[in-house]
Amino acid sequence: MMSASQGARGNALAPAISETEPGASLSAASHPVTPLSMWGGDTLVYRSIIALAVAAIPVVALANWFAHGSPWSPQIALAAVLLAVACVCYTLSRRGMQDTAAALLIGVIWSVSTIFAFATGFGMHSSVIYLYLPCMLYTVLFFGVTFATIELALTVAVLLLMYWAEEHGTIGGLSAFTERSSNLSFIVGIIVTCVGTLVAGVVYHRRVLRESARVVREAEQRRLAMERAQLAQAQVETAHAQLQALNAHLGLRARASDEEIARMRRDIDLFHDVVSKDFPASLKALREALAAPGDDTDARLQREIGRMEAVTAALEELGRHNLPPLKRTPIDVSVVAQEVVRNLRAAQDFARVRFDVDPHLQADGDRHLVAALLRHLVKRAAKACRAEPDPLVNVGSGSHEGQQVFFVSDNGPGMDAAQREKLFRPFERGRAEDHSVDIGIVSARRIVERHGGVLAVESAPERGTTFYFSLPSA
pLDDT tops 90 at residue 229: yes
326-469, CATH topology level: Heat Shock Protein 90 (3.30.565)
Least confident of 71-75, 122-126, 335-339, 411-415: 71-75
254-259 mean pLDDT: 78
The reported pLDDT for the residue numbered 11 is 39
289-308 mean pLDDT: 70
The reported pLDDT for the residue numbered 201 is 74
The reported pLDDT for the residue numbered 189 is 74
Report whether 435 contacts 388 (CB < 8 A).
no
% pLDDT > 90, the chain: 21
84-95 mean pLDDT: 87
229-254 mean pLDDT: 90
Q: Which one-letter amino acid corresponds to residue 198?
A: L
Residue 14 CA to residue 118 CA, distance in Å, equals 48
pLDDT tens digits along 22-78: 344 444 344 455 555 544 455 777 887 888 788 878 887 887 787 667 776 777 888
Least confident of 90-104, 193-207, 286-300, 451-465: 286-300
Residue 137 Cα distances to 142, 161, 202, 221, 382, angstroms: 9, 23, 12, 33, 113
Q: What are phi and psi of 466, to 5 degrees?
A: -130, 125
236-258 mean pLDDT: 87
Pairing outcome for strands 362-366 and 455-459 = unpaired
pLDDT tops 80 at residue 220: yes
pLDDT tops 70 at residue 230: yes
Q: Residue 244: is it exposed, middle or buried by C-beta count within 10 angstroms (0-12/13-18/19+)?
A: exposed
Of the pLDDT bands very low, low, confident and very high (cuts 50, 70, 90), residue 452 is confident
The reported pLDDT for the residue numbered 5 is 37
pLDDT tens digits along 136-149: 888 887 788 888 89
pLDDT averaged over every residue in the chain: 78
262-275 mean pLDDT: 67
Report whether 6 contacts 146 (CB < 8 A).
no
Reference 437, options 282, 258, 286; nearest CA is 282
The reported pLDDT for the residue numbered 224 is 93
The reported pLDDT for the residue numbered 125 is 84
The reported pLDDT for the residue numbered 442 is 80
pLDDT tops 90 at residue 392: yes
Pairing outcome for strands 392-400 and 354-357 = parallel
DSSP letter assigned to residue 49:
H
**Would you kindly state where each structural domain of the chain is located, as residue ranges?**
4-231, 326-469
Of the pLDDT bands very low, low, confident and very high (cuts 50, 70, 90), residue 473 is low
Report whether 375 contacts 317 (CB < 8 A).
no
% pLDDT > 70, the chain: 75
Report whether 83 contacts 31 (CB < 8 A).
no
DSSP letter assigned to residue 325:
P
The reported pLDDT for the residue numbered 75 is 77
Of the pLDDT bands very low, low, confident and very high (cuts 50, 70, 90), residue 267 is low
Global confidence as pTM: 0.41
Reference 311, options 429, 142, 175; nearest CA is 429
pLDDT tops 50 at residue 432: no
Those residues with Cβ within 8 angstroms of residue 473's Cβ, 6 or more apart along the chain or in another chain:
328, 364
List residues bridging with 354 in a β-sheet. 392
Residue 275 CA to residue 452 CA, distance in Å, equals 29
Residue 77 CA to residue 362 CA, distance in Å, equals 113
Q: At what angle do helices 367-385 and 333-345 cross, to 10 degrees?
A: 50
The reported pLDDT for the residue numbered 46 is 80
> Three-state SS for 417?
helix
Report whether 1 contacts 41 (CB < 8 A).
no
The residue among 433 and 255 whose pLDDT is bigger is: 255
Residue 65 CA to residue 53 CA, distance in Å, equals 18
